[in-house]
Copies of this chain bind each other. A is one copy, B any other.
Amino acid sequence: MEHNLWGTAEEGKPLSNSVKKLLGLLLGAKPTDAASRIPAAQIKLSEPRLTDGQLHALENIVGADYVSQDHEQRLRRSHGKSYPDLLDWRTDKVIAAPDAVIAPGTEAEVLEVLQYCSRERIAVVTFGGGSSVVGGVNPVRGEFAAVISLDVNRFTQLEDVDMVSALATLGAGLTGPAAELLLGEHGLQLGHYPQSFPYATIGGYAAARSSGQSSSGYGRFDSMVRALTVVTPQGIMEIGGPAPASATGPDLRQLFLGSEGTLGVITRVRVRIHPIPEVKRYEAFSFRDFKAGVAAVRAVAQQGTGPTVIRLSDDIESSINLSSTDKIGETNKGDSGCTCITMFEGSPEHAKSRHAETRAVLLAHGAKSLGEEPARQWEQGRFGAPMLRDALLDNHVICETLETATDWSNILKLRAAVVEALGVNLPTSPSIVMCHVSHIYPEGASLYFTIISGQSAAPHEQWWKAKAATCRAIVTHGGTISHHHGVGTDHRPYLESEIGSLGIKLLQAAKDTLDPVGIMNPGKLF
């Protein structure tokens, strides 16, 4: 992944002329080319702060090949992929970069690094795929002398496979595709397909409670995790007992899932795996409006009809047809209503019966079938949407996503509140705010927003004002501050509203126990 793009330059999707025209018309955007992208070599990074002695000591632990102060290496680990992260690359400001990048190869090395850094008061930011959109990987020095980026990308083994128990242990540095490739050799899959799938890593999925597009079928990533190996400054922990479920006290896995590098470094994750499905079935539907669609997908969740994927786009997203990114702005055939994509996987009989039951519920709620094609198109293009953001940014157009979740009884109100907060606070032009429901539960669902708006002359300030107003709206209107992006720096101010002051104290107590000096990803989460 390029430091300043989602994906690589080759994967980029330049906007068609029709889209540029549309954006100019709608948002007053000024079409430009990729001229605002500053080459990596010209970007100014903070001066590295490690002493020669410290650098040498770290090299002694992991080997000189695995400690780097190279400009490009530091640059690539200085930011995640949020809109403000990407904006930064287009300014001439000095970017705060890690003082070094270190890549231990074993848990013993990680432990030694953490113990050394505790003694030397060097902050440690664990780095996997770098796809955080909430500031999770950005190096925060805090009160410490220096900050290093600890790369887990040497933990890339498929450690073991238990075919009988449907469990496998994966190295934390494996990306989604790399993990699926290794599992595929055994006829297995993980089934976790977040938008960041091509780049994000197994460790990051666990650390940030990722949720993938097939969560209806395979569950959130946190529900797939059987056990974790976590290296803390106080020692190496194997977390997760010998059974799939237990009453042997609190479930400590759930303290590390979502800990975002603040307690230790996740190096291995034991996960539930599945045979590669024999068949996939597809069907798309249309609802007259979002409310009708929500009622339908709620019934699917509560009756447990069993789709692998189900997502409902609101009117705007359906008409902009983000499901087919190649054709954005070109294929509005006068369809109205809300599109609902469904997919079903498993044995032929299993997929067929889940399809039939889901379909019957959707039709009973007023759905009209659109056939297979829109669902297949969505599947093909599903990892491509974020690439568009770079092209829009080239044209001074904000494109960012936000997400939350709430109960079904609150979902329409929360959606309205978020749309209003964004609309009111991105004032240079009309904004386009699209929304979809893509993760459903018996009690509620996620809401995923995509915002497209004209950039003001002070784009950072413009964005942070809108983001803060939106976060306040989410908290005020009963949403969680994040359903699957995590907390990082960006959502940190809102955590206490969700878990209370005693909740914060519990997290601090866990941190004090495992990381008494506080070097692990300071300034993040809480």
Interface, chain A (partner B; CB < 8 A): 162, 164-167, 208-211, 220, 222, 226, 232, 234-235, 237-239, 241-260, 272, 274, 298, 302-306, 346-347, 349-350, 353, 356-357, 360, 404-410, 439, 441-446, 478-487, 491, 494-495, 498-500, 502-503, 505-507, 509-510, 512-514, 525-526
Contact = CB atoms under 8 A, between A and B. Distances in A.
B211 A247 contact: yes
Nearest to A255: B250
Total identical chains: 2
A407 B244 contact: yes
A302 B510 CA distance: 35
B444 A243 contact: yes
Contact of A242 (B246, B408, B445, B498): B498
Given A244-B441, A250-B254, A350-B357, 16 more contacts: A164-B407, A166-B443, A167-B443, A241-B499, A242-B410, A245-B405, A248-B258, A248-B491, A249-B260, A250-B258, A253-B254, A303-B346, A304-B346, A304-B350, A349-B360, A506-B510
B407 A526 contact: no
Contact of A482 (B211, B246, B251, B479): B246
A336 B444 CA distance: 47
A480 B241 CA distance: 7
Contact of A244 (B255, B303, B360, B443): B443
B478 A242 contact: yes
B350 A245 contact: no
A294 to B, nearest CB: 10
A407 B241 CA distance: 11
24 contacts: A162-B409, A164-B408, A166-B302, A167-B443, A220-B245, A234-B505, A241-B480, A241-B499, A242-B410, A243-B404, A244-B442, A244-B443, A244-B445, A245-B439, A246-B405, A246-B482, A247-B480, A247-B487, A248-B486, A249-B495, A251-B254, A252-B506, A349-B357, A509-B509
A239 B503 contact: yes
Those 3 A-B pairs whose CB atoms lie nearest each other, nearest first: A254-B254, A243-B405, A165-B407
Contacts of A245: 211, 220, 405, 439, 441, 446, 483
A251 B404 CA distance: 16
Contacts of A502: 232, 234-235, 237, 513-514
A210 to B, nearest CB: 7
A237 B165 contact: no
A405 B248 CA distance: 11
B258 A249 contact: yes
A290 to B, nearest CB: 15
A302 B356 CA distance: 21
B513 A505 contact: yes
A247 B209 contact: yes
A162 B408 CA distance: 9
Contacts of A253: 254
A484 B247 CA distance: 5
A251 B98 CA distance: 30
Contacts of A249: 258-260, 487, 495, 498-499, 507, 525-526
A509 B357 CA distance: 48
Contacts of A404: 243
A256 B500 CA distance: 15
A226 B409 CA distance: 15
Contacts of A241: 480, 498-499
Contact of A162 (B305, B407, B491): B407
A353 B509 CA distance: 49
Contacts of A410: 165, 242
A258 B254 contact: no
A474 to B, nearest CB: 9
Contacts of A167: 407, 443
Contacts of A506: 252, 255, 510, 513-514
Given A165-B408, A349-B357, A237 B479 contact: no
A210 B441 contact: no
Given A304-B350, A404-B243, A509-B512, A257 B250 contact: yes
A99 to B, nearest CB: 27
A235 to B, nearest CB: 6
Contacts of A346: 303-304
